[in-house]
Amino acid sequence: MEKESKQELEKSQEVLQDENSIYPVVDADLCSGCGICAEICPVDAIVMKNGVASIITDACRTCFACQRVCPMGAIR
Ligand code: SF4
Ligand code: SF4
């Protein structure tokens, strides 16, 4: 029971963090793994991990080019 509520808390914190992120966020459920975002990123801040785009926030310049090109609308 306690473990469950801790997981819930962690999950809600994760969501909160995503919503407040100044960086683009990939929705893994929507990502098709096409890699277009990784190709377009001018600073190579996107890597593909297990068929899902992953943004390296340290490298990201928040240009949001990736968001505009994603055909799945998976980046917000
Ligand atoms: S462009 Fe969109 S669907 Fe394609 S890899 Fe990137 S996030 Fe995933
Ligand atoms: S916002 Fe721009 S710099 Fe950041 S990951 Fe997307 S394309 Fe790359």
Q: What was the pLDDT predicted at 76? A: 95
Given a cut of 70, is residue 10 above it in pLDDT? no
Residue nearest to atom 1 of ligand 1 (CA): 70
**Is the CATH number of domain 24-76 3.40.50.2300?**
no
What distance in Å separates the CA atoms of residue 18 and residue 36, rounded to the nearest whole number? 22
pLDDT of residue 17: 59
Which candidate, 21, 14, 28, places its Cα nearest to that of 70?
Answer: 28
Q: Where are the domains of the chain?
A: 24-76
Pocket test for ligand 1, best of 34, 40, 69 (most atoms within 8 A of CB): 34
Residue-level pLDDT at 55: 98
**Whole-number average pLDDT of the chain:** 88
Beta bridge partners of 54: 47
- C-alpha 4/C-alpha 50 separation (Å) is 27
Q: Give tens-digit pLDDT for 18-48.
A: 677 899 999 999 999 999 999 999 999 999 9
**Would you say the CB of residue 55 lies under 6 angstroms from ligand 1?**
no
Which helix (H) or strand (E) segment holds residue 53: the answer is strand 52-55
